[in-house]
């Protein structure tokens, strides 16, 4: 039996096809979360016998799919399930998505024991980096590479994305080094992430999930600002993978 897990995020749609008989992942794919892709998503995914939905738009896509009664599961549950499959020895999970940031703690059996969520402000999300890269007129990977080269990260104090944008424009006009501004943006995001995590134990490295995990050298910046992370080739697909695995159990 082939089971499809579909994670409908605010920036991208991820899918994983899992074979229940062999307990193996067969395929995976990703699409931009555009209205056109959402409307025609069934044209882009492989045939399946069962489907599980998760992510920001899981309830909306339920109305688009022709399949009856898909399994709808929360993002927290799916990320924990998928992360357990790809990295069973990691108990701290960090998902910095386009819409929100999630910190999840699981025990040795994979059971969720605590989680924290920031969905009030985009200043602590991946979209924050995307917006700041646009101001500097560079691609996101180039933005990260510039931040790595910084020797003196700028201080960006605004907690609001709109005010942070104004602060960055002011820094540009003050002839601050672009590399330092980029590093300052990453520093502010990581400090917000640390505030979200709070007093939870994080002396072990966290598994980074979501689109940021595919950026080269992002782990260097996290470690520079005192957060240890690990990436996995499948880190971006844990939500979709977890949505499929829920139907395997």
| pLDDT tens digit sequence for 95-106 | 988 778 999 999
pLDDT at 119: 60
**Does residue 204 sit in the same domain as residue 151?**
yes
**Does residue 197 sit in the same domain as residue 244?**
no
Residue 96 lies in a domain: no
In percent, the amount of the chain with pLDDT more than 70 equals 93
Whether the per-residue pLDDT at 124 is higher than 80: the answer is: no
123 burial (CB, 10 Å; 0-12 / 13-18 / 19+) is: buried
Nearest Cα to Cα of residue 102 among 233, 210, 30, 229? 210
Residue 93 lies in a domain: no
**Does residue 144 sit in the same domain as residue 71?**
no
What global pTM score does this model have?
0.90
pLDDT band at 39 (very low <50, low <70, confident <90, very high): confident
Residues 141-184 pLDDT 10s: 999 999 999 999 999 887 677 777 888 888 989 999 999 999 99
Query: Can you give the CATH number for the domain in which 161 is found?
Result: 3.30.420.40
Residue 103 lies in a domain: no
pLDDT at 98: 78
pLDDT at 99: 78
pLDDT band at 60 (very low <50, low <70, confident <90, very high): confident
pLDDT at 40: 87
Mean pLDDT of 32-55: 90
**Does residue 65 sit in the same domain as residue 165?**
no
Residues 6+ apart with CB under 8 A from 249: none
**Does residue 211 sit in the same domain as residue 244?**
no
**Does residue 145 sit in the same domain as residue 184?**
yes
**Does residue 193 sit in the same domain as residue 174?**
yes
Q: Across the chain, what does the average pLDDT equal?
A: 89
Residue 101 lies in a domain: no
Residue 53 lies in a domain: yes
**Does residue 122 sit in the same domain as residue 221?**
yes
Higher model confidence: residue 68 or residue 50? Answer: 50
Residue 97 lies in a domain: no
**Does residue 29 sit in the same domain as residue 131?**
no
Residues 2-22 pLDDT 10s: 999 999 988 899 999 999 999
Number of other residues whose CB lies within 10 A of the CB of residue 1: 11
Whether the per-residue pLDDT at 67 is higher than 80: the answer is: no
Residue 35 lies in a domain: yes
Mean pLDDT of 212-226: 93
**Does residue 130 sit in the same domain as residue 68?**
no
**Does residue 67 sit in the same domain as residue 139?**
no
pLDDT band at 69 (very low <50, low <70, confident <90, very high): confident
Say how many domains are in the chain.
2
**Does residue 157 sit in the same domain as residue 171?**
yes
What is the span of the domain harbouring residue 212? 117-230
**Cα 5 to Cα 18: distance, rounded to the nearest angstrom:** 8
């Amino acid at each position: 039996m082939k089971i499809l897990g579909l994670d409908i995020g605010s920036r991208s749609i991820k899918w994983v096809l899992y074979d229940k008989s062999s307990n193996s992942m067969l395929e995976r794919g990703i699409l931009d979360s555009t209205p056109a892709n959402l409307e025609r998503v069934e044209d882009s995914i492989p045939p399946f016998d069962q489907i599980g939905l998760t992510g920001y738009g899981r309830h909306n896509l339920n109305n688009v799919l022709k399949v009856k009664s898909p399994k709808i599961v929360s993002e927290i549950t799916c990320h924990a399930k998928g992360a357990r499959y790809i990295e069973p020895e990691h108990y701290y999970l960090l998902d910095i998505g386009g819409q929100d940031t999630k910190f999840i703690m699981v025990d040795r059996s994979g059971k969720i024991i605590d989680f924290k969520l920031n969905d009030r402000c985009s200043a602590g999300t991946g979209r924050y980096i995307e917006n700041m890269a646009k101001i500097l007129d560079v691609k996101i990977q180039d933005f990260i590479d510039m931040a790595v080269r910084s020797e003196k990260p700028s201080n960006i104090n605004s907690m609001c994305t709109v005010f942070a944008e104004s602060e960055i424009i002011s820094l540009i006009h003050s002839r601050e080094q672009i590399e330092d501004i980029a590093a300052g943006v990453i520093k502010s995001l990581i400090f917000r992430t640390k505030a979200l995590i709070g007093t939870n134990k994080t002396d072990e490295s966290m598994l980074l999930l979501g689109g940021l995990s595919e950026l080269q050298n992002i782990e260097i910046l996290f470690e520079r600002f005192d957060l240890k992370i690990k990436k996995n080739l499948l880190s971006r697909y844990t939500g979709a993978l977890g949505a499929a695995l829920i139907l395997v159990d």
